[in-house]
Amino acid sequence: MEWTNASTYQAAQKVSGDIEAHFLRHLESAREQGEEELATAPGKLHIELMIDVAFWASLRREEGLPTRISMAFLHPSQAGKPLLFEYRIPLSPKALTKLAPGVERAGVHVGIWYDEEGLYIWGTTIKLPNFCFVLDVSEPGLLVVKHRRAAGLGKFTNVAVLRGDQVKVVDETIGVNMDCPGILTSLLGINASPLWNHPVNVLIQIAVSMRAHRRGGILLVVPAGGDGWKESIIHPMQYLVSPVFSGVADLIRKDSNIVSEIYWQNALRREVDNITGLTAVDGATIINNQHELLAFGAKITRSFNSTAVEEVLLTEPVIGGSPALLHPSRIGGTRHLSAAQFVHDQKDALALVASQDGYFTVFSWSKPRQLIIAHRIDILLI
């Protein structure tokens, strides 16, 4: 059955109003702050119809492969030097499925606009205006609504995730109300740095890469210059790195004016993948807060002068979510329990845990609450 002008995916109807409000709010704030090159916010009906078409397209296959595509709502005049089709293509699941193999690479977006006859595809673009509505078809039944950061750099900011009949809308206020580490507030767009080599932005890239290999793993981030963390590791360590490996750290410290920013970003991506591949090895990978690699495959143990961790506060930055006090074993398996124990013992450290099923959790110590907070952030990393 071909697509019509009425949506049949109920989740699209449920979430479209909240998404419209998000974009209107951010664009109005950006205009008040004098920002330029701003996108046009799609209306509720346009959002609903784009999500509906994208969902049904995600369930289709072309030559045996699932549809993967990124749609952006903008007029061609806002797209820099777009690739324009001579004839407009009415937006439909079939049209997206046929087009997807040619535009599935990261950074390429299918341009969507509208006229009196409805939504249509006008071509493709790699340039987007600030706060442009983007809808990614990530895998069958999984859609992500996001927007380009105002600074134009780094990972896009996620707005909502739809997986089948499950809908999660990001709650940006949690970064203000909770005691959150920098990686979370930056992903929420709070105090985010536009610099590609900012330490928090690099840590976000590490988290995205770590989640992408889908083997699961633990990354421990400890203070530079100290070795107190060794009290929470079983010795001898099989993969202790000496001297520390500083591939990522060296790139961050280089003068970014020597060559183009694209060069540095590509070089950093290679170094990040080099490090995060090691998180697939059984045990924890350990870096310091200057992104120098100290060890991998390390086995976590309880510090000799510590107690067993009994509870953590589990949070997720979604509207309607409620923090819950749980024993760490109820959050996940051995990785989560070990990571929680490490942060319980090493309160100035962070622990990032990727699960094989895609969940991603950051453990940090909250001084005001005097307990560990487990921040589930996979909704922000997709």
Query: What pLDDT is stored for residue 1 in this prediction?
Result: 39
Q: What CA–CA distance (Å, rounded) separates 360 from 354?
A: 5
Intra-chain end-to-end CA distance of the chain, in Å: 30
Indicate the range of 56-65, 170-179, 289-298, 370-379 predicted with least confidence: 170-179
306 pLDDT more than 60:
yes
- Which residue has better confidence, 341 or 157? 341
Confidence of residue 34 (pLDDT cuts 50, 70, 90): confident
Query: What pLDDT is stored for residue 63 in this prediction?
Result: 85
- Residues near 104 by Cβ (< 8 Å), separated by ≥ 6? 68, 69
What is the arithmetic mean of pLDDT over 287-309?
A: 95
With contact defined as beta carbons under 8 Å apart, do 171 and 317 qualify? yes
Q: pLDDT averaged over the chain? A: 90
Q: What CA–CA distance (Å, rounded) separates 85 from 87?
A: 5
Q: What CA–CA distance (Å, rounded) separates 241 from 230?
A: 13
- The C-alpha angle 37, 41, 45, rounded to 5 degrees, equals 160
- What confidence tens digit (pLDDT) does each residue in 81-114 have? 999 999 999 999 999 999 999 998 888 999 999 9
- What are 9's two structure tokens? 């995916």
Q: What CA–CA distance (Å, rounded) separates 94 from 59?
A: 11
Confidence of residue 177 (pLDDT cuts 50, 70, 90): low
Closest CA to 228 of 345, 370, 308, 335: 345
- What are 72's two structure tokens? 């952006």
Q: What CA–CA distance (Å, rounded) separates 356 from 225?
A: 32
Query: What pLDDT is stored for residue 320 in this prediction?
Result: 87
Closest CA to 361 of 184, 176, 182, 164: 184
User: Which domains are seen in the chain, by residue range?
Assistant: 10-169 (no CATH), 192-380 (3.40.1700.10)
- What confidence tens digit (pLDDT) does each residue in 253-269 have? 876 666 566 677 788 88
pTM above 0.85, yes or no: yes
- What confidence tens digit (pLDDT) does each residue in 117-129 have? 999 999 999 999 9
3 pLDDT more than 60:
no
- What confidence tens digit (pLDDT) does each residue in 192-237 have? 777 777 888 899 999 999 999 989 999 999 999 889 999 999 999 9
What is the arithmetic mean of pLDDT over 18-47?
A: 92
* Full DSSP string of 102-146: GT-STT-EEEEEEETTEEEEEEEES---BT-EEEEEEETTEEEEE
With contact defined as beta carbons under 8 Å apart, do 167 and 185 qualify? no
- What confidence tens digit (pLDDT) does each residue in 332-366 have? 889 999 999 999 999 999 999 999 888 999 999 99
With contact defined as beta carbons under 8 Å apart, do 140 and 146 qualify? no
Query: What pLDDT is stored for residue 2 in this prediction?
Result: 46
8-state DSSP, 57? H
- What are 300's two structure tokens? 């976590």
Distances from the Cα of 151 to the Cαs of 148, 252, 312, in angstroms? 8, 19, 35
Indicate the range of 128-137, 154-163, 193-202, 364-373 predicted with least confidence: 193-202
In sequence order, the β-bridge partners of residue 72 are 111, 134
With contact defined as beta carbons under 8 Å apart, do 73 and 50 qualify? yes
Q: What CA–CA distance (Å, rounded) separates 109 from 126?
A: 6
Q: What CA–CA distance (Å, rounded) separates 111 from 76?
A: 7
Query: What pLDDT is stored for residue 190 in this prediction?
Result: 79
152 pLDDT more than 50:
no
Residue 364, class by beta-carbon neighbours within 10 Å (0-12 exposed, 13-18 middle, 19+ buried)? buried
The helix/strand count (H/E) of the chain reads as 10, 19
Query: What pLDDT is stored for residue 124 in this prediction?
Result: 97
